[in-house]
Structures are given as C-alpha cells and as structure tokens.
Amino acid sequence: MTGLYVAALLIGIVAGLRAMTPLAVLSWAAFAKCLLVEGTWASFLASLIVAIIATVLAVGEIVNDKLPKTPSRKAPPAFAARVALGAFYGAVFGTLADGTSPGLIIGLVLGAAGAVIGTLGGAWARGQLAVAFGKDLPAALTEDAVTVAAALAITLALAA
C-alpha cells in the first residue's frame, strides 16, 4: 500500500515535467493488464482507444514543447493543468492502494503535490541543463527521456 502512495507522489512529479506522458503510460499499462484498474472508477484507462488518444496527446505535447512560442509550464493555465493531471494520476494509484475514498484522496493530494514539485523543479533543472548544453533543445530532449523512463519505471514497478 505504501508503495502505491509513493508512486502517486512520483507520478505527480512526472506530470510536472510532461503532463500527458503519464496518461499514455498508465493507459497502456492498464490495457496490457499490468495495472489492474478493472472494477474501479479508473477502468476506462484500460481501453485501447484511451491508450491511443493518450499517446497522440503525449507525442503532441513533446513536439509542442520544442516550439518557440510555447508558454512556460509555470504560466497559470499550464501549471494548473499539470497539477490537475498529477492529482488525477495520483488518485489512480491511491485507489489501487486500498480501494477506498480516503485512499483516493491521499493519492490525489500526493499526485498534486508531486506535480507542483515536478513543474517547478523541472523548469529549474531544464534551465540549468540549457545553460550547461549552451542551448535548450538538448535540455528538452533530456527532459523527454527522463520523463518517459520515469513514467515507465514507476508504473511497471507496480505491475500486477
């Protein structure tokens, strides 16, 4: 149970880096029956259609992130979206932790807190990497790789 709450916080941090990547990873894991969401409010994640749409959204976000006119992740709409999605992903893990409303709420809060950490920490880290690399693109690609690897590691560590 504790591992799922830690995962809720960690997946929130990942949502702060890229908001849609966790959705793609969670939905593919649910579709493949690695993440058992059947019988919960999150059972829709196991749909192939959801997995495909989530993947398209995640790829779109990764591409859009590289465009020069993309607003900062710390801009209020982007920040709010990351926190809301982090809360959602955390709620999925919280529900799987014990199947109760308190579990869902604990996961939701941990996911939201993680998203705040990931948004602010990710912006700082990317800025530092951009300075080190001398430009932003290598920093952005590094962030993409870390995001995908972390989302996969967190989710697959919980595989049934």
What pTM does this model have?
A: 0.94
CA 78 to CA 72: how far, in whole Å?
A: 7
Q: Which two tokens stand for residue 121?
A: 């920490």
Q: Number of folded domains in the chain?
A: 1
**pLDDT tens digits, residue range 117-148?**
999 999 999 999 999 999 999 999 999 999 99
**28-32, 64-68, 142-146: least confidently modelled range:** 64-68
Percent of the chain with pLDDT over 90: 92
- What's the confidence (pLDDT) of residue 154? 97
- What's the confidence (pLDDT) of residue 137? 96
Domain enclosing residue 60, as ranges: 2-157
What average pLDDT does the chain have? 96
CA 112 to CA 7: how far, in whole Å?
A: 12
- What's the confidence (pLDDT) of residue 24? 98
pLDDT band at 160 (very low <50, low <70, confident <90, very high): low
- What's the confidence (pLDDT) of residue 101? 85
